[in-house]
Structure 1
């Protein structure tokens, strides 16, 4: 790394060490698009925003390339800003990702998400129908380890952060000192022989890694989750010893312990219902299910 400073031009130049990004999917299916909003079907393995090991192979970069190609024939490109994601999905999570194409849409969609999170724990929340008063609701499919006995489970476990190697801003975990979070889990199918449960999860709030944390908190972490274990805590973690040697050269060395961006679990943002940020029209978006997250009846119906 080298830093040069030219007093005459007041120019600061940063030369970082080269790095090679890991492979990532290069496919973004468009589920819906108009002048203000674009909804994508994000594949598992593709990171939403630059960070850590991924700086170019991200959803944001692909959106920028796509917008540049579309606007290359226009004289006033500044009137066509690049779309930006208004929320995040974990790198290993697939499914619906909402992106704003205008400043007004971005502001209103961000308010939708913020309002839903603020409802949790307040008097506006109703156990019977947690999402009726919201302008956006999100439904996921997930494959949880073990057999959930109840057909329906409402999880209200706060989520906060702890220092953790490989995660600069801290790792989100289940903790009583965290912020309120709510997930409504419905069992779709149980496989006793395989010892797993196919579930549908509707989230009232939108804390990072909420579904992974909540299901692991109740003793049913996602099948293949490399990070979270029973109790909503990370595996391979000693709070008394945080080795930060991974942070050399901006953190682009691969951390030794599992980190949130690692893949292997099965979680899919299957459906989103929202009020259009400009027209207020109700829109229902659905991302096709991966085969492993379909019920037996859904699989048979496709054949």
Structure 2
């Protein structure tokens, strides 16, 4: 097993975020099935998760939509087959987010980052520019300007929740991206292929991920295997639906080891190894067994379900840009819990060398012994 080599490149990088982002442009070409629709009918039916009908009406009347390059403010304009229509989402100030990233490991094929809590990995929702991907692209652009050949833009090959800190692995070449994505998918496919939950998963995995988490309550057992399937339900403010513990969902497996019990604070520090990659899997699984993440997961409560909500309720009020208001109830990207991607062991995508990468632990996720060692150093 190889430890990450020293690198001559800066150990941290990142540029401060501009006050406003650049806005977004959404392009569509009118298909035969959409011909004869009015402009308002097209957008309010095709993109109803973006804004209510009155919000789309406002955007049209503001001149934010063009048809074949010409701004159209009449919502009843009839669309013709082959016309290009473009919606311009105006620039906005995204919520505050960290921007500095620490490099834990880097070579010609990949880079491993220590992602801070509060930073989103890929664009989505209100965060379109303030993401890890943007900082990676800015860094690659700066590097390529100093060399003769263009260096490919690195891209994350998996996700971490916005509130989750720790190791984020990114590929720097197409080959590395393909192979690393297969490594991450391998564990999930093994779980899916083994429906008998009483069997252990066999075979050598190319990648393993260890997380640290602080949960509410005292776990009685030293080791817990959680095999609860994860599915989706409708949820306000989450267009594609919310992942929850569901008997009809897809198989998922998490191995939990107790590291330290905090009897005074009624908390347990655990290490979690996930052998499948369902979204929010650790948050859902730990809450499913009655131990949600500290300092209070804003979304998931005991049972692996979201806090009380009405799945039929949709707030039709809209913000100044015509889109839906930010949901009052918690959504998956909200921060406030203690979860850290601590260790990653993988076979290198081109050399097959086994590499172990470790992200320093936040103080709240250290055992008492680890805290004492850190203080003495």
Q: Which residue in 2 is equivalent to 1:168? A: 239
Contact 1:166/1:246, CA 8 A, preserved across alignment: no
CA distance in 1, matches of 2:140, 2:284: 35
Using the TM superposition, give the Cα deviation of residue 246 of structure 1 relative to its aligned residue in structure 2, in angstroms. Answer: 6.8
Please state how far the C-alpha of 1:11 moved relative to its aligned partner. 5.7
Alignment CA distance shift 1:37-1:124 (3 Å): farther
* Alignment equivalent of 2:340, drawn from 268, 272, 285: 268
Native 8 Å contact 1:165 1:246 kept in 2: no
Report the CA distance between 1:244 and its aligned residue: 4.7
CA distance in 2, matches of 1:125, 1:106: 31
Q: CA deviation at 1:169?
A: 1.1
Specify which of 68, 71, 84 is matched with residue 6 of structure 1: 68
Q: Distance in 2 between the 1:7 and 1:90 partners?
A: 38
TM-superposed CA distance for 1:260, in Å, is: 0.5
Q: How many residues align?
A: 300
Instruction: Indicate the SS of the match to 2:270.
Output: strand
**What pairs with 1:219-298 in structure 2 (closer than 5 Å)?**
219-223=290-294, 224-239=296-311, 241-245=312-316, 253-298=325-370
Aligned to 1:199: 270
Deviations 1:91-114 (A, max 9, x none): 000000000000000100111111
Checking the alignment, whether the CA contact within 8 Å between 1:119 and 1:125 is kept in structure 2 is: no
Q: Are the structure 2 counterparts of residues 282 and 25 from structure 1 closer, same or farther at C-alpha, using a change threshold of 3 Å?
A: same
- TM-score in terms of structure 1 length: 0.93
Any conservation in 1 of the 2:195–2:251 contact (CA below 8 Å)?
A: no
Change (3 A) 1:166 1:91: same
Q: 2:221 aligns with which of 141, 147, 150?
A: 150
Counterpart CA distance in 1 for 2:199 and 2:189 is: 18
Contact 1:191 1:197 in 2 (8 A): yes
| Runs of 5+ consecutive residues of structure 1 not aligned to the other structure | none
Displacement, 1:121? 5.1
Moved over 6 A (4+): 124-129
Bigger shift: 192-201 or 244-253? 244-253
- The farther-off stretch of 86-95 and 15-24 is 15-24
- Match of 1:219, SS state, is coil
Rate the CA distance shift 1:7–1:284 in 2: closer, same or farther, 3 A.
closer
